[in-house]
Amino acid sequence: MLARKFWLIALLCAVSTACAQQWPTPSRPVLPAQQAPTPEPSTAPTRGVIPAQDGGVREVLESIVVPPIPHEPFTATLITEWVRYTPDGASITLINQRRIARDAQGQLYEERWALVPKNGDIASRLQWIQIADAHTRTLYNCNMIARVCELLRYDPARDLAAATAPSPSSGPLPGDRGFSQTESLGTRMIAGVDTMGTRVTTTLNPGAVGNDRPVVKTSETWRSEQLAVNLLSIRTDPLFGTQTFTVSDLDAGPPDPQLFALPVNFPVRDQRAARPPSP
């Protein structure tokens, strides 16, 4: 999935700013110069900011799936809140907001902003812009810090499958790993759009994931069938905490065409041959 394959980077992940070679740019419109963000060389992350060490985790937060279906354009703000809990009961909360859009042809636009501490004094930064086109099967992954775009292959199959996938049915998990229960939560209006709610509760038996006692996790989604997008998604897992994705400022009209133009003066590295699509 686009939102799974191309991820939000946590605040402490290093981003390379190396761009030694200029690459030819495909014939695609670019943003006017005044709309191209200006980098901050003094604060831009560089390779090697995090020293080599044993252990540690580079955390990745998956986001909602926006399928490339046509005839259902929109522009919206996606608000993310990620709460994790320490063994002594303290909580750590990271947040960000980003703009997402889909035009009438099904072309996708997504921004990726750094996760920052809630109520902290660190400002989030725009790190990536992604433009996906199911018709040309291309994805432009533009690094707003390094000021370069990668041209990748985009396979819309999994995103489209997610748009039509039914809710999982209740019952035992394969291999006696546990049990899943699905329940309907009825209807609810979110951002002026009718949604249908579903909660899936999964209980993992001891040993399923190396656990020594049962593990319970839940997924609550409020889905717009018209847009084929979850307007509210709440996932709770003892391993990852609680992740809440809320769509706001939803405009169901056609988005600004300039969103789908590449940033001006960004060289494009064609990685389609170097990174073949997964089978």
Min mean pLDDT across 32-41, 224-233, 260-269 is at 32-41
**Mean pLDDT over each residue of the chain, to the nearest integer:** 83
> With bands split at pLDDT 50, 70 and 90, how would you rate the model's confidence at 257?
very high
Residue that is written with structure tokens 């522009």 in the block: 75
Comparing 17 with 176, the larger pLDDT belongs to 176
Percent with pLDDT over 90 in the chain? 69
β pairing state of 268-270 and 148-153: parallel
Average pLDDT over residues 89-105: 96
Condensed to tens digits (0 to 9), the pLDDT of residues 113-161 reads: 999 999 999 999 999 999 999 999 999 999 999 999 999 999 999 888 8
> With bands split at pLDDT 50, 70 and 90, how would you rate the model's confidence at 45?
very low
> With bands split at pLDDT 50, 70 and 90, how would you rate the model's confidence at 103?
very high
Residue 49 has pLDDT above 90, yes or no: no
Comparing 231 with 60, the larger pLDDT belongs to 231
Comparing 17 with 130, the larger pLDDT belongs to 130
Comparing 80 with 17, the larger pLDDT belongs to 80
| Element at 213 (helix H, strand E) | none
Question: What values do phi and psi take at 218, rounded to 5?
Answer: -130, 155
pTM beyond 0.85, yes or no: no
Cα pseudo-dihedral 42, 59, 137, 245, rounded to 10: -100
Nearest to 75 by CA among 258, 239, 213: 258
Q: So what's the pLDDT on residue 4? A: 43
Average pLDDT over residues 45-70: 72
> In the chain, how many H helices and how many E strands?
2, 16
Q: Where are the domains of the chain?
A: 2-270
Give 227's contacts (C-beta < 8 A, 6+ positions apart): 72, 74, 193, 252
